[in-house]
Amino acid sequence: MHIMFLAQCYAPEDVSAAVLITELATDLAKRGHRVTMVTGAPNYPQGRVFEGYRNRLYSAEMLDGVRVIRTWSYISPAKKTLPRLLHYGTYSATAFYGGLLSGKPDVLVSFSPPLPLGLSAWLLSRLWQVPWVLQIEDLYPDAAVAAGVMLNKKAIEFFSAMEHCLYQHAHRISIISESFRRTLLGKGVPDSKMEVIPVWADPNEVLPLPKQNLFRHKHHLDGKFVVMYAGNIGLTSCLEDVLDAAELLKDQSDIQFVIVGEGVKKEMLESEARTRLLTNILFLPYQPREAFPEMLAAADVGLVTLNAGAMLSSLPSKIFNVMASARPVLSVSPPESEQAHIVHEADCGRNVEPGSPKQLADVITLLKACSALHEMGQHGRSYLEKYHTRQHCVGAYEHMLIDLCNQLRIGTASVNEIS
């Protein structure tokens, strides 16, 4: 089966959510499928093209058995809304000709965000008469509204109409959680069109390594109780609560917060930490992919945060990496969120409601004194191995694609017989 993906980011050395896309594509290729990836030049999170790549109109290469087609997009290090919209829009448009020049597949998959990419996928699907799967990583425009990025009423109406159009025309909609399913049911999407395939982590890559390691020593964390956040420092991350908690705990010199990553709010948070003289917060850039397992292992507790507005439109994938590393999850999210539900069901940590820095500080103090941290971490690892492994989720994805192609093939054959 020839599978074509349209996805904004794709690079083996990437550290963002593109890692999951890379793993999905390479694993399907290893399972014997012909896989084509239409993407742009890798540039996240700095907004600069990675060394060794160029932002060309069209280029092609083979990476780990996947044919990778790269098309041009507007790329800028600016964090403002307009440059980001230009980046999303230009890639969404050029992906159409990138797909067109790549040859007809058996099935087409497009990732959202960016939402407009679905329009190119829809047109290609209609042109080739092949099934199209809309893969939703975040619900847009809901997530943009929740983050405060999209406030203009006309813009919200425009993108909501686009969203409805894509849901109507996609042959299958792949979503990452039951909360996404409930939200889409409320938008009138038939349940029969949706398939829940959760986000995963690779338990063979992210291992429960020793806490005392080179990462701890390098960053002077020996003897500290490390509360680590690793991921995108975006508008929905509510890390302000973490700064407030750090201020409440600044006299406990053995508690150290480590925030690893990049994003639109990082500069503001760093500036605020300096203003408050919060020496118990260490900010680090994204770490090399090969250092990722050791970095997670250096934590006593893994922080996963999500603000109230985004709880129905986002599910941070970082929670599964923390679970794979067998570290307790300290979740900051509404109690009714999918994230909080996972922590409760797996019994792998604690959840604190956003906007409660005093409670967050108290929970961190309790966890530091808790004798069951190892047990919580093991619960998370066991839950991941049961429901969220890379092998299990990629297998479910493969089954969905094969089933969709077979259904449409049978349907087409029946129509031909009647005619």
What is the DSSP-derived secondary structure letter of residue 201? B
Domains in the chain (CATH in brackets) are: 2-200+389-418 (3.40.50.2000), 214-387 (3.40.50.2000)
Lowest mean pLDDT, pick from 25-39, 78-92, 119-133, 222-236: 78-92
Nearest partner of 36 among 114, 123, 124, judged by Cα:
124
Average pLDDT estimate for 398-410: 88
Tokens of 65: 């058995």
What values do phi and psi take at 65, rounded to 5? 85, 0
Which one is predicted more confidently, 149 or 56? Answer: 56
Tokens of 87: 């980046």
| Whether residue 419 has pLDDT greater than 50 | no
| Whether residue 337 has pLDDT greater than 50 | yes
pLDDT band (50, 70, 90) for residue 51:
confident
Tokens of 246: 């750090």
| Whether residue 148 has pLDDT greater than 90 | no
The whole model's pTM is what? 0.88
pLDDT tens per residue across span 259-293: 999 888 899 999 999 999 999 999 999 888 889 99
Q: What pLDDT, on a 0 to 100 scale, did the predictor assign at position 311?
A: 77
Q: What pLDDT, on a 0 to 100 scale, did the predictor assign at position 138?
A: 87
Average pLDDT estimate for 158-172: 95
Q: What pLDDT, on a 0 to 100 scale, did the predictor assign at position 413?
A: 46
| Whether residue 305 has pLDDT greater than 90 | yes
Q: What pLDDT, on a 0 to 100 scale, did the predictor assign at position 127?
A: 96
pLDDT band (50, 70, 90) for residue 18:
confident
Which 3 state secondary structure label does DSSP give 381?
helix
Which one is predicted more confidently, 255 or 407? Answer: 255
Q: What pLDDT, on a 0 to 100 scale, did the predictor assign at position 308?
A: 83
Tokens of 101: 């020049």
Q: Contact, 14 vs 46, CB < 8 A? A: no
Nearest partner of 43 among 14, 67, 23, 70, judged by Cα:
14
pLDDT tens per residue across span 98-123: 999 999 999 999 999 899 999 999 99
Percentage of residues in the chain having pLDDT higher than 70: 95
Q: What pLDDT, on a 0 to 100 scale, did the predictor assign at position 238?
A: 85
Question: How many Å apart are CA 357 and CA 294, to the nearest integer?
Answer: 28
Q: What is the mean pLDDT of the chain?
A: 90
Q: Is the peptide bond before 357 cis (omega within 30 degrees of 0)?
A: no
Which 3 state secondary structure label does DSSP give 405?
helix
Which one is predicted more confidently, 43 or 229? Answer: 229
